[in-house]
């Protein structure tokens, strides 16, 4: 079985567990006044799990590959060192570091650092454009979440 189908099988299992949790476990302790609402807290996770199951089935059954399409190069799992595996591992570790640095460093600084470092990892070298774009993006997201949605998001480090 090709690597894309193995990944789809793992994704199917994850979506199945997520869907089971969304359909059968999330709404158990919901207060009675919320049970009459048309949209429950589990509505979006239910939709996501169903879409994930459908997408993974499409990949598992091979429907995404048409009969007339030329066969794309399959990922050879025996030659993983030929791919840019270092960049992928570095990006994943940057994401984990970003998640752990949100509270102590603050949203704005950790988001700007994550955007700049991940872009540099992927090969962007025009820092005179990259840094202002990262600042505007982090500030815009913080403004939307904090001021428009009214959800508290710590912008600065804990000491401020």
Same domain, 89 and 123: yes
Nearest by Cα to 143 from 133, 155, 132, 129: 155
| Residue 133, phi then psi, degrees to nearest 5 | -65, -40
- Let me know whether 63 and 89 are in one domain: no
Same domain membership, residue 8 and residue 56: yes
What is the band of 159 on the pLDDT scale with cuts at 50, 70, 90? low
- Residue at 75 is within a domain: no
pTM: 0.56
* Final residue belonging to a domain, choices 38, 69, 100: 69
Q: What is the sign of the dihedral through the CA atoms of 27, 28, 31 and 35?
A: positive
Model pLDDT for residues 104-117, shown as the tens digit of each residue: 898 999 999 999 99
* Within a domain: 32: yes
The residue segments making up the domain with residue 21 are 3-69
94 and 63 assigned to the same domain: no
Q: Are residues 62 and 15 in the same domain?
A: yes
Considering its fold, how many domains does the chain have in total?
2
The reply to whether 17 and 64 lie within a common domain is yes
Of 147, 153, 152, whose CA–CA distance to 111 is shortest?
A: 153
**Boundary-marking domain end, from 12, 35, 69:** 69
Residue 74 in domain: no
CA 87-91-96 angle, 5° bins: 150
- Find where tokens 């025009």 sit: 126
Residue pLDDT, tens place only, 10-62: 999 999 999 998 888 887 777 777 777 778 878 889 999 999 999 999 888 87
- Asked whether residue 78 is assigned to any structural domain, the reply reads no
Q: Which of 69, 98, 116 is the last residue of a domain?
A: 69
In a domain, 153, yes or no: no
Please tell me whether residues 47 and 105 are part of one structural domain: no
Phi, psi values for residue 122, rounded to 5°: -80, -5
Residue 140 lies in a domain: yes
């Amino acid at each position: 079985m090709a690597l894309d189908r193995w990944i789809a099988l793992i994704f199917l299992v994850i979506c199945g567990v997520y869907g089971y949790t969304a359909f059968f476990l999330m709404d158990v302790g919901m207060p009675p006044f919320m049970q009459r609402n048309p949209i429950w807290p589990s509505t979006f996770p239910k939709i996501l799990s169903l879409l994930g199951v459908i997408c993974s089935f499409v990949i598992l059954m091979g429907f995404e590959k048409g009969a007339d399409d030329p066969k794309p190069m399959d990922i050879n799992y025996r030659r993983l060192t030929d791919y840019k595996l270092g960049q992928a591992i570095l990006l994943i570790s940057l994401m984990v570091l970003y998640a752990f640095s949100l509270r102590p460093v603050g949203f704005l600084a950790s988001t700007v650092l994550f955007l700049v470092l991940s872009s540099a990892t992927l090969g962007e070298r025009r820092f005179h454009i990259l840094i202002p774009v990262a600042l505007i993006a982090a500030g815009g997201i913080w403004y939307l979440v904090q001021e428009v949605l009214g959800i508290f998001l710590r912008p600065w480090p804990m000491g401020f």
